[in-house]
Amino acid sequence: MNLDSTTLRKAIGRTEVRSASKLLLSAAALLFVLYLVTLLPGVDRLVPQTPVTFAAVVTAIATVAVVGLLVYSAPKLASLVRLAFDGPREVVENVASVVHWVVVLAAILVAHSGLAGIATPLFDGFEWVYDAMFLLVALPVLVVIVGRLYVGLDPSADLIADKIVGEGNDSTDGSGHEPTDQTK
């Protein structure tokens, strides 16, 4: 069901669009403020009695906020994909699911990167444990993405073939070869 912009606006409403926009603007503003914080004098100093810098603590706090925004927005983005994409239900559902899980994977990767500053000094020589923990969390999400992509291959290929050649317009003889002209 392909929707024009007016129908889409009515379907999702101003409140939902405002909420999604606010989430994205908040994440961008948070990243900008985090960058400004890293420029302040003294943020590269260690927090007393720890091997962690003040900048790493601020980065970890901002990371938790961004990860929360990503996880919160994943189902909303999937719903938006369902509304905006035209095609068979099976294809649209697969695309929406992939979008959802890619955003969740992005949240995991952001968490891994943003929390490293406070976590890896605490592991002191065992940083691989930190990476392994995030790998164990990320792998099932990646498996879901791969599964949804695999399940969507045939319906997507059929959709593309129907759009390019036309529905039911198969010019092969079933073996993948063009039929020969037998009228001579």
What's the pLDDT at 54? 87
Name the β-bridge partners of 46.
53
More confident residue, 129 or 181: 129
Q: What is the pLDDT of residues 10-20, one digit of tens each?
A: 666 677 777 77
102 has a pLDDT exceeding 90: yes
CA 139 centroid distance within chain: 14
pLDDT at 184: 45
Query: For 133-168, how does the pLDDT look when each residue is reduced to its tens digit (9 = 90+)?
Result: 999 999 999 999 999 999 999 998 988 888 888 876
Highest mean pLDDT out of 33-37, 58-62, 140-144:
140-144
The SS3 assignment for 166 reads coil
Q: How far apart are CA 113 and CA 32, in angstroms?
A: 17
